[in-house]
Amino acid sequence: MEQIVIGIGGMSCQGCVKNVSGVLLALPGVARVEVSLEAGQASIAFDPEKVGAGQFRAAIEGAGFDVA
Ligand code: 9UX
């Protein structure tokens, strides 16, 4: 398992946090997600053989947010 922290722009409430968490957790290979509204970032634990940074970016941007 690997860990990555991704900066996210555009989150303005806990609903956004829930939405970002949901799209990330829906990706196969993602084990654990912690999204912080205050810090504007997501910490993701994942299996690097199944998923990676490109898919995290696509999922976050697809949900309407910006990846730093
Ligand atoms: Mo909050 Mo975010 O009212 O996608 S859910 S602004």
**Structural domains of the chain in order of their starting residue, each with its CATH number:** 2-67 (3.30.70.100)
Question: E strands within the chain?
Answer: 2-9, 30-36, 41-46, 66-67
What is the per-residue pLDDT for 68?
86
Ligand 1 pocket check for 16: Cβ under 6 Å: yes
pLDDT for the residue numbered 5: 98
**Quick check: CB of 21 below 6 Å from ligand 1?**
no
Here the contacts of 29-36 (C-beta below 8 Å, separation 24 or greater) are: 31/1, 35/8, 35/11
What pTM was computed for the model? 0.96
pLDDT digits (tens, 9 = 90+) for 14-60: 999 999 999 999 999 999 999 999 999 999 999 999 999 999 999 99
Say yes or no: CB of residue 26 within 6 Å of ligand 1: no
